[in-house]
């Protein structure tokens, strides 16, 4: 079986976890451009961990300017098998207050200014993202949250907007009418690219505020969001530490086939594939091309 390597992508403060062993920042080159930052290679209780600051250390990269393809490719090259997205978000439901966590199971992608696939001219592939979250990874996150006493809801839809501005009230009410639970700017196309890279993926959405639909709360502002984020980060650190200690050292097969997503996805026959694109896809899709 394959060794489990846990990847964490999220805010910079998340990586100051006590008890990290053999921690070392390493640059990982990607043919898709420059990732958001170096990757922190470390271990927790013998399990390899890879941390990537999604916005770069110091939060220098906006959601629309993140190189999502380079990030996922670099994490794949770093050996990651399971990727947890730890993401700040706004709440679209009364019962999900600031400080609450949500293990989402669905996404609605409203982004429009981002590269969304590793595949394209020269090699076409269509992966299924009907079930974008790996259930075993979500189970493990839920168990860690319960063990640490972190208020967490299992299940919900994450509306991914383009940003960087927050929603208008009309938009917020529209997303509520769709039944969405939380709103953020970063998990798409990240989740789609993780599926193309055959990574098991799950999101831990940390509520920082009510989106602007809520008349009894102040409209979103950066200062209030940052205050809640600090408390959320401390809870997320405990959760990640617990998660790493409980993860199996050998990676089990994903019950929804996240780790074999490309087996039935590539349309272009071998003789028509562009060699230059295949070279860029070596880390993401090398398993199926070699087969």
Could you list the residue range(s) of the whole structural domain that residue 105 is in?
2-290
Q: What is the mean pLDDT of residues 252-281?
A: 97
pLDDT tens column, 3-58? 999 999 998 678 888 889 999 999 999 999 999 999 999 999 999 999 999 999 99
Q: What is the mean pLDDT of residues 242-259?
A: 97
Residue 63 has pLDDT above 90, yes or no: yes
The DSSP code sequence of the chain is -EEP-EEEEE-GGGG--TT-EEEEEE----TT---SS-EEEEEETTEEEEEEETTTTTT-S-GGG--HHHHHHHHHHTT-SEEEEEEEEEE-STTS-TT-EEE--EEEE---SS---S-BTTB-B----SS-S-HHHHHHHHHHHHHTT--EEE--EEEE---SS---HHHHHHHHHTT--EEESSSTTHHHHHHHTT-EEEEEEEEEEE-TT-TTSPPP-HHHHHHHHHHHHHHHHHHHHHHHHHS-SEEPPPTT-GGGGGGGTB-S-GGGS-HHHHHHTHHHHHHHHH-
The annotated binding site for substrate is made up of: 185, 209-211
Q: What is the pLDDT of residue 290?
A: 87
For position 123, which CATH number holds? 3.40.50.1580
Q: What is the pLDDT of residue 219?
A: 61
pLDDT tens column, 163-176? 999 999 999 999 99
> Total structural domains in the chain?
1
Q: What is the mean pLDDT of residues 109-137?
A: 98
How many percent of the chain have pLDDT more than 70? 97
Q: What is the pLDDT of residue 207?
A: 96
Q: What is the pLDDT of residue 19?
A: 83
The annotated binding site is made up of: 12, 54-55, 87-88, 185-186, 209-211
Catalytic site residue 215?
no
- Catalytic position from the list 109, 209, 231, 259: 209
Q: What is the pLDDT of residue 72?
A: 99
The annotated binding site for phosphate is made up of: 12, 54-55, 87-88, 186
Residue 106 has pLDDT above 90, yes or no: yes
Residue 98 has pLDDT above 60, yes or no: yes
Q: What is the pLDDT of residue 16?
A: 86
Catalytic site residue 211?
yes
- Catalytic position from the list 37, 211, 221, 274: 211
Residue 218 has pLDDT above 70, yes or no: no
Residue 262 has pLDDT above 60, yes or no: yes
Q: For all residues of the chain together, what is the average pLDDT? A: 95
Confidence of residue 284 (pLDDT cuts 50, 70, 90): very high
Residue 221 has pLDDT above 90, yes or no: no
């Amino acid at each position: 079986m394959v060794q489990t390597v846990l990847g964490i992508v999220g805010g910079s403060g998340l990586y100051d976890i006590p008890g990290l062993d053999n921690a070392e920042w390493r640059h990982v080159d990607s043919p898709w451009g420059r990732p958001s930052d170096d990757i922190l290679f470390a271990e927790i209780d013998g399990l390899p961990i890879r941390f990537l600051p999604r916005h770069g250390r110091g939060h220098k990269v906006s959601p629309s300017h993140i190189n999502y393809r380079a990030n996922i490719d670099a994490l794949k090259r770093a050996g990651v098998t399971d990727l947890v997205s730890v993401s700040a978000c706004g709440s679209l439901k009364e019962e999900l207050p600031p400080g609450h966590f949500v293990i989402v199971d669905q996404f609605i992608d409203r982004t429009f200014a981002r590269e969304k696939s590793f595949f394209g001219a020269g090699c076409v592939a269509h992966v299924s993202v009907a079930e974008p979250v790996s259930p075993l990874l979500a189970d493990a996150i839920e168990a860690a949250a319960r063990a640490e006493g972190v208020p967490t809801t299992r299940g919900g839809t994450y509306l991914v907007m383009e940003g960087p501005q927050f929603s208008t009230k009309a938009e917020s009410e529209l997303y509520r009418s769709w039944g969405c639970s939380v709103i953020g700017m970063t998990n798409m196309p990240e989740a789609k690219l993780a599926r193309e890279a055959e990574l098991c993926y799950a999101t831990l959405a940390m509520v920082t505020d009510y989106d602007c639909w809520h008349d009894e709360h102040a409209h979103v502002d950066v200062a209030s969001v940052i205050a809640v984020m600090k408390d959320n980060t401390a809870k997320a650190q405990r959760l990640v530490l617990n998660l790493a200690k409980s993860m199996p050292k050998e990676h089990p097969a994903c019950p929804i086939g996240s780790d074999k997503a490309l087996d039935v996805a590539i349309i272009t026959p071998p003789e028509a594939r562009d060699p230059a694109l295949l070279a860029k896809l070596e880390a993401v899709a090398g398993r199926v091309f070699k087969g």
